[in-house]
Structure 1
Amino acid sequence: MMELESQLAKLAELGLVLNPEITIEDLLRAEDREAFIAKPFMLLLFLLGGEVERKPWGRRICNRVWSFDLECIATTGDYVKIVRKLCLLIGNEDRLTEIVDYIDLEDGECWLKYTIGDKRQHWTIEVNDDWADMLALSYVMEDIQGDGCQFYAIDSSEAMIILYLDRSSAEKLSDLCNEDLEPLIPVEG
């Protein structure tokens, strides 16, 4: 049995900390203490990847974790939002510039463009109803990851929890939550 504060302390050792303006009370608005004890680390990680459930709206709980709902594609601009969240995870919101997408689900046309350094990238994105194309997003992740860290994911019934960690921290987190963290890398071939 591990209390919420102890779970937060363990995650902080791995660099997963609450953003400065966020408090434990913000977490307890979503779930009670018993829920965190019943599902140690997994529930907390899921909530860390979201936003505070009170005004002012739109405040991230932890910038190093994202609870990514894969059924999020509806209109032009949705991939731009995803890419910006990935850049926030690496701690460099300006890593990519000139981010533009086009989404037409009805005609099955979708693409994403951005600039990284002096290189312009253009990805054709597979349309699968409102599901995000993880292969195309893995190419973006490959472009922006570095400094000994990479993107990892834990599949959850509600969302994919995406984290940006070094290998050692990912292994420690896997042990803590008794879940395999899978690296999100492009499929070769």
Structure 2
Amino acid sequence: MQIPQPRDLLANARLLCWSRLPVPLTEPPVFKQMADHTPDVDRATGSQTRPLFGFHTLDENLQRLRQEAMPEIVMLQPRPAEKKPGLQRYDPPKSCVDMYEILQNQANLVQLAGLKIGPRVREPQVFQLSEGHSAEIPEGYLGRAILLSQYEARFRMRRGNYVSQQEIWKPDQELYFDGRLVACVPYTKFSLAIYELVPV
């Protein structure tokens, strides 16, 4: 049986979408979705009503690789063919790819009730979001991102009419999420890979 390639899966599932979103003027209800919780589910449709997201502290090896990537990240040039409003895409340095080889072996460190992290369906790629722009991961998949900055980033999670409070993403944390991640600060640069979510 032929195994589908990541590019085929991406073409069929349209796993990553980018759009311009307004930053809410009012503070939404407090919501923090961490690793030992599952999102609210609409029982009538079986669909998720809130995005899933959480943080996991990077181990020493991942911290080292992230630091090694920083000088290379500064020198990266965006790929013109991939540029969209609010988004820049870059070819990732080897240290970014190595980070996700480690994460691949530690896939189940992120404990999700009723779910486990399945195979990787998109190789790691470096992105930069402008303030107010977003990255979206659809239901059934999980984005795993490592911040490529010495400073913390701020963001909100969005799905449909739901918008989370502003969250803080620290440099020593892996961020995992589905739904739409909206950047609340300029120049949010991160390495992102996408995995399938498998029911247990």
| Same structural fold, with TM-score higher than 0.5 when normalized by the shorter chain | no
| TM-score in terms of structure 2 length | 0.25
Larger helix proportion of the pair: 1
Which structure would you say has the larger Rg?
Answer: 1
Q: TM-score, normalised by structure 1?
A: 0.26
Tell me: higher relative CO, structure 1 or 2? Use CA pairs within 8 A at least 6 residues apart.
2
